[in-house]
Amino acid sequence: MKIVLIGAGNVGFHLGLAFFEKGENVIQVFSRKKSKALGLAKKIDSKYTTSLSRINKNADLYIIAVHDDAIGEVTEKLVQAGIKEKLIVHTSGATPQSLLSSAKATRYGIFYPLQSFSLERYPNFTDIPICVDAKRNDDLLLLKKLAIKISSKVYHVTDENRAILHVAAVFVNNFSNHLFHIGSKIVDKSALPFEILLPLIIETVNKLNAGTPKEMQTGPAKRADLDTINKHLEFLKDYPEYSEVYKVMTKGIENQ
Amino acid sequence: MKIVLIGAGNVGFHLGLAFFEKGENVIQVFSRKKSKALGLAKKIDSKYTTSLSRINKNADLYIIAVHDDAIGEVTEKLVQAGIKEKLIVHTSGATPQSLLSSAKATRYGIFYPLQSFSLERYPNFTDIPICVDAKRNDDLLLLKKLAIKISSKVYHVTDENRAILHVAAVFVNNFSNHLFHIGSKIVDKSALPFEILLPLIIETVNKLNAGTPKEMQTGPAKRADLDTINKHLEFLKDYPEYSEVYKVMTKGIENQ
């Protein structure tokens, strides 16, 4: 299968590498920034372009991995460039397929890897769930076949369920990282390093293998230990924002 | 060193096992519940009692691993039983040493393993930070020597810093677990299993090895993506509690 990768940011970069490692043929990489397009193209033995009007028209699949708010515009330009009859997918968790159809794509779908990518970190792609969907059944099958080559966890996920997943992902990824940030700022008030909290954080996640989060819940809120909760709130009185998080989360745990 | 372990709950149980594995001599286990006292005593080749008045008076160290609100009373009973001159420590993150002194202990301190224990899970004790402190310097040295036998991460932590650590631990452990709970309830609205989120959760934690939580922050709040935030809030409008968490955390990330 010949693939054109549109976007060489975090998602495009890691998808490109994963395809290349499994012998898939990325024939062209697009990025507006030459350094990004060229950098990725070199790594995966591909051509590159910085102009959507020069997109290769002979690919089987066009994967749009750009910012959510640019997906519509990029799709329109692809269609204008004459690739209306080809399969066009995007990698966004939060964007419905209808955006591709209103941009006049006729064969379209989703190829959404459920992971938080950064350029510096190379996660094991085999473990990353890939959520696929497509307007046409034959295209869905094609996307599943491709996804299975780079991941052992491939799910057919509708627009509605993908939107749900994306909200859940924000809670477990973005928001828990923010809690780690608050933890680090609080520990900064002591003479101790943030690293002292890492074994506890790792165990919090490892426990998810032993039961549901609700079953694994511990702490003062869980055991309604008001003495400790009040001590903590007293400590936090100079940090109104952290105090607000503490109260909201404590109430949530009490109501689990 | 001869140790008496008072309490056979999550902390007492795992401490007892860790001491036993490293050849330390726990000569007696106390629990009000015979099944717990006997169960742990058997595992670590120790005696047991269910009565504080029958505590062995010949130990070098008495470790109190009971609920925070029982520490004072238990200490008083130990002193009444005639072990006033011996070193008495507790394992609580949230309780000051002064509680031991007001219960008339004369040699006292802290032996606080910074971890969330459950009976079903056996964490690797070597990785668990142990925070020690004592009124007397010779006792502090003794506690450090003992801690080093079961953990590679031993810290001298004052009451003040331990209180700070305990607040931070609630954020990174209890509260992030609650976010995992919310994530699981949201995913329940789809046809997908909670497991689909696990690789993302694991990567969130692994990223802490690459930089500070602030450096690793991603997501709609971080990039001020109001379209996505509003879509999420629209989805959450039937879940006022989750919506409140979403708003508080989003505001916090915007202010990082």
B200/A115 Cβ within 8 A: yes
Q: How much is the pLDDT for A181?
A: 98
Four-residue CA torsion sign, B232, B177, A67, A146: negative
Between CA A114 and CA A118 the distance in angstroms is 13
Q: Is B147 helix (H, G, I), strand (E, B) or coil?
A: helix
Q: What is the CA radius of gyration of chain B?
A: 22
Q: How much is the pLDDT for A120?
A: 81
Q: How much is the pLDDT for A102?
A: 87
Using a 10 angstrom Cβ sphere, with 0-12 exposed, 13-18 middle and 19 or more buried, the burial of residue B186 is buried
pLDDT over 90 (residue B123): no
Q: Which of the pair, A118 or B220, is modelled with greater confidence?
A: B220
Q: How much is the pLDDT for B118?
A: 83
Q: How much is the pLDDT for A58?
A: 96
| Mean pLDDT value across residues A157-167 | 96
pLDDT over 90 (residue B156): yes
Identify whether the C-beta of residue B197 lies closer than 8 Å to the C-beta of residue A172: yes
| Mean pLDDT value across residues A220-231 | 93
Q: How much is the pLDDT for A121?
A: 84
B94/A121 Cβ within 8 A: no
Between CA A124 and CA A128 the distance in angstroms is 7
Identify whether the C-beta of residue B79 lies closer than 8 Å to the C-beta of residue B58: no
- For residue range A190-220, list pLDDT tens digits in order: 989 999 999 999 999 999 999 999 999 999 9
DSSP bridge partners of A155:
A131
Q: How much is the pLDDT for B84?
A: 81
Q: At what angle do helices A10-21 and A34-43 cross, to 10 degrees?
A: 20
| φ, ψ (nearest 5 deg) of residue A203 | -65, -35
Q: How far is CA B118 from the centre of its chain?
A: 10
**Six-digit token string for B212:** 């500070």
Q: How much is the pLDDT for A177?
A: 98
Between CA B214 and CA A185 the distance in angstroms is 10
From the list B127, B200, B248, which residue is nearest A173 (CB)? B200
Q: How much is the pLDDT for B122?
A: 87
Q: How much is the pLDDT for A180?
A: 98
Give the mutation candidate from B130, B181, B202, B235 for the A interface (greatest A CB count, under 10 A). Answer: B181
Q: Tokens 């002292």 appear where?
A: A196
Q: How much is the pLDDT for A27?
A: 98
From the list B172, B203, B252, which residue is nearest A123 (CB)? B203
Identify whether the C-beta of residue B88 lies closer than 8 Å to the C-beta of residue B64: yes
Identify whether the C-beta of residue B154 lies closer than 8 Å to the C-beta of residue B147: yes
| Mean pLDDT value across residues B79-97 | 92
| Mean pLDDT value across residues A31-60 | 97
Q: Which residues contact A135 (CB under 8 A, 6 or more apart)?
A: A97, A101, A107, A108, A109
Q: How much is the pLDDT for B24?
A: 97
pLDDT over 90 (residue B120): no
| Mean pLDDT value across residues B91-116 | 92
| Mean pLDDT value across residues A132-139 | 97
Proportion of chain A in helix, strand, coil states, percent, rounded to 5:
55, 15, 30
Between CA B59 and CA B25 the distance in angstroms is 10
The shortest C-alpha distance from A44 to chain B (Å) reads: 24
Q: How much is the pLDDT for B157?
A: 97
B127/A164 Cβ within 8 A: no
From the list B68, B181, B200, which residue is nearest A217 (CB)? B181
Q: How much is the pLDDT for A118?
A: 83
| Mean pLDDT value across residues B109-117 | 95
Between CA B37 and CA B28 the distance in angstroms is 9
Write out chain B residues lying below 8 Å of A186, CB-based.
Answer: 164, 167-168, 171
Q: Is B20 helix (H, G, I), strand (E, B) or coil?
A: helix
Question: How many C-alpha atoms does B187 have within 13 Å on its Cβ side?
Answer: 22
Proportion of chain B in helix, strand, coil states, percent, rounded to 5:
55, 15, 30
- For residue range B196-253, list pLDDT tens digits in order: 999 999 999 999 999 999 999 999 999 999 989 999 999 999 999 999 999 999 999 9
pLDDT over 90 (residue A104): no
**Six-digit token string for B109:** 């301190």
Identify whether the C-beta of residue A123 lies closer than 8 Å to the C-beta of residue A116: no
pLDDT over 90 (residue B78): yes
Query: A248 falls in which pLDDT band (50, 70, 90)?
Result: very high
> Between β-strands A87-90 and A61-64, what pairing exists: parallel, antiparallel or unpaired?
parallel
Q: Nearest-CA neighbor of B115 among B6, B7, B13? A: B13
Q: How much is the pLDDT for A192?
A: 95
Q: How much is the pLDDT for B104?
A: 85
Amino acid at A206: N
| Mean pLDDT value across residues B9-24 | 96
